[in-house]
Structure 1
């Protein structure tokens, strides 16, 4: 089952990312033609970054299933990926489902894979696949590092880079835009804190699972 999860999951994620990128580029070419800007924005979404990481992790994991114990560093990468994907699924379904995001018209099946199916596949893989190493609570610092850097990058880029099509700052998600949020940066800070809490709880859960007895794939 682990082989099927990793093969099918990696293929589905790669296809979903590629098709959505293709749609976004096509829409922009038929519009104002700011393709470079759209591509930069596309890869600035936490959803896209975490899914690309998940696709790579699942694909590489196909070749590690025969090993009884994977390197500790690889277990750390898997734990972080599982946390990010779980966060993606929770945040999307609580805050963003039904909201048209600014990467062009959303491809429905791609959207469901990236926000629902892929997080479920990665979480299930972490639960059942053999080889993971037990990870202590200190590993949580490593897990939260990437989201913290992403949040800093996103807020800084949004404040400095203007959308050449509208002249307005560009943010990947509506709740991160201080210009449209009800209370500006206070609202943004609230949402960032809430997401940080979700990441922390999800990461702690992932680390706890790593210490459970490993199952046979």
Structure 2
């Protein structure tokens, strides 16, 4: 597994990049064909695209899987464990992607999107394939290092920053789709749609935060269990 797993990581990375590019191309093409001023504003559409947690998580995952593959073929050849920085970054992207897969398939899969707005195969790659690959990577990838519990703070940092950014930016943006004077990347973050308004949104944020912390704790716990199993051999 040590010899071929970097190739699996490289394949997953390239697939992730391809899915992001395909969906970005479709999104910008649709925007360019829009008949409204707000719908055809490409800078806003592009920034909105990279404001989705799913897109950012997949982009980070694709980058880190590529980095991990290159590391395995270079300095990683002569060592038995990945460096701590790489272990923490892989734990971060694994946590985000596993959580993305859970949230999408529980909360968002049944939501009907405008015809032609989504590239179907890209959508499945970003929400199912890459999350599953990162789960397998956590469980089975060779040379994984034992993580300390303070790494959970590093894992939690990006989702907190993303949530603050999203809620602060939302009312500064005109929605390209509807022309509304606000834009939220997900319906459950929109106080105009969520029962209870901002209180309901807060409930969803807390729930997702708990899920991220739980998944991150699981990733760390498994790394420690694998290390203990190696030590007992």
Q: Any residues of structure 2 matched to 1:115-134 within 5 Å, and which?
A: 115-134=127-146
C-alpha deviations, 1:19-52, integer Å up to 9, x for none? 0000000001111321111100000000000000
Q: Any residues of structure 2 matched to 1:137-148 within 5 Å, and which?
A: 137-148=149-160
2:206: which partner in 1? 193
Partner of 1:133, secondary structure, is coil
Report the Cα offset of residue 11 of structure 1.
1.1
- Give the number of the structure whose alpha-carbon radius of gyration is greater: 2
Report the Cα offset of residue 17 of structure 1.
0.2
1:108: which partner in 2? 120
Change (3 A) 1:146 1:202: same
Gaps of 5+ in 2: none
Gaps of 5+ in 1: none
Report the Cα offset of residue 161 of structure 1.
2.5
Across the aligned residues of Structure 1 and Structure 2, the Cα RMSD in angstroms comes to 1.9
Report if aligned partners of 2:7, 2:69 keep a CA contact under 8 Å in 1. Answer: no
Report the Cα offset of residue 101 of structure 1.
5.6
2:31: which partner in 1? 28
> Are positions 1:211 and 2:224 aligned together?
yes
Change (3 A) 1:64 1:126: farther
Report if aligned partners of 1:101, 1:173 keep a CA contact under 8 Å in 2. Answer: no
**How many equivalent pairs are there?**
215
Report the Cα offset of residue 122 of structure 1.
1.3
Report if aligned partners of 1:100, 1:106 keep a CA contact under 8 Å in 2. Answer: no
